[in-house]
Amino acid sequence: MTTYPDHFKNIHLERCESTNDFIKRDLPRLETDFPLMVSADGQSSGRGRENRGWSSPENLGIYATFGFRLPDKRCLALLPLAAGIAVGGMLENWTGKNFDLKWPNDILAAGKKIAGILCETIVNADKILCLAGIGINVNQQPGDFPDDLQERAGSLRQLTGVAWPLGAGRERLAASMASWLGKLFAAGGSCIVDRARQLSRSFLGQTISFHHQGRMIRGIFLDIAPDGGLLLELSGGEKKIFYSGEWLD
């Protein structure tokens, strides 16, 4: 076991079903090493939000889960945003390209999805344990994606035309996650929401499709609310904040 910067211990695997599931299967033992980063060269059953699969071909992407204790329940609502801006900011600094945050934590560039995040919370007595699973498409070429993702998924290599070192990317990701989680825990939500608004600015004023509690909603994206919710203007001019659901466009 090696240690990444900023105190994340690290377990790196050649292959696993998913890094989130790896931690959950052995949580009583592994939580003693929190904050912990489990990464893998490939995943056989990687997954994202809404239990969707995440394509995880070996040695082409970054697949990692960060396990940590949450000091305060008030941080829970902003955790997905914090993870999203940690990934988006890391990718901007690494590549020099612009990335967009699609609420709450999908990362896009040039209209294609580059990274996705799955946050899971385990409440155990007086402890709040969090897992932030992150998948980043790094060196995939078009033929490396499943047929149903060809039009929607992209990679850093497609965006920049060059291959990127995965080990260096994992180190940068660990440092960025540590930095933004530290800000969330110490400073609360204002800096998280401000940065999320910056990364979401390309979507301002767009009409989006949003799936919420079994209903399909169309609305104009107005802002990210101070508490991290998605602020939409619905038909008739009604403004409403959503805290769960899926942005489909």
Tokens of 84: 């999203």
Half-sphere exposure of 51 (CA within 13 A, CB side): 0
Instruction: Write out pLDDT tens, residues 107-151.
Output: 999 999 999 999 999 887 788 999 999 999 999 998 899 888 888
pLDDT at 205 over 70: yes
- Full-model pTM: 0.93
Q: Is the pLDDT of residue 50 over 60?
A: no
The reply to whether 204-247 shares the fold of 2-187 is: no
Q: Please give the pLDDT value at position 86.
A: 97
- Placement of tokens 């399909």 in the chain: 216
pLDDT of residue 1: 35
Instruction: Determine how β-strand 9-16 pairs with β-strand 2-3.
Output: antiparallel
Domain boundaries 2-187, CATH class: alpha beta
The predicted model gives 25-33 an average pLDDT of: 93
- Model confidence pLDDT, tens digit, residues 14-24: 999 899 999 99
Question: Nearest 5°: phi and psi at 38?
Answer: -110, 120
State the pLDDT confidence band at 53, using cuts at 50, 70 and 90.
low
Is residue 148 helix, strand or coil? helix
Q: Rounded CA gap, 244 and 31, in Å?
A: 27
Residue 83 to residue 239: CA distance in whole angstroms: 26
- For the segment 152-177, the average pLDDT, to the nearest whole number, is 96
Residues 6 or more apart whose CB falls under 8 angstroms from that of 119 comprise: 79, 80, 83, 105, 130, 131, 132, 133
Q: What is the mean pLDDT of residues 174-201?
A: 91
Query: What pLDDT does residue 149 have?
Result: 84
Extents of the domains making up the chain: 2-187, 204-247
Residue 48 has pLDDT above 70, yes or no: no
Neighbours of 20 (CB within 10 A): 25
Residue 124: what pLDDT?
75
Strands 207-212 vs 127-137: parallel, antiparallel or unpaired? unpaired
Residue 93: per-residue pLDDT: 97
Q: Return d(Cα 197, Cα 82) in angstroms, integer.
A: 12
Residue 82 has phi, psi (to 5 degrees) of -60, -40
Q: Which CATH number fits domain 204-247: 3.40.50.720, 2.115.10.20, 2.30.30.100, 3.90.1150.10?
A: 2.30.30.100
For 209-245, the pLDDT digits (tens) are 999 999 999 999 999 999 999 999 998 899 999 999 9
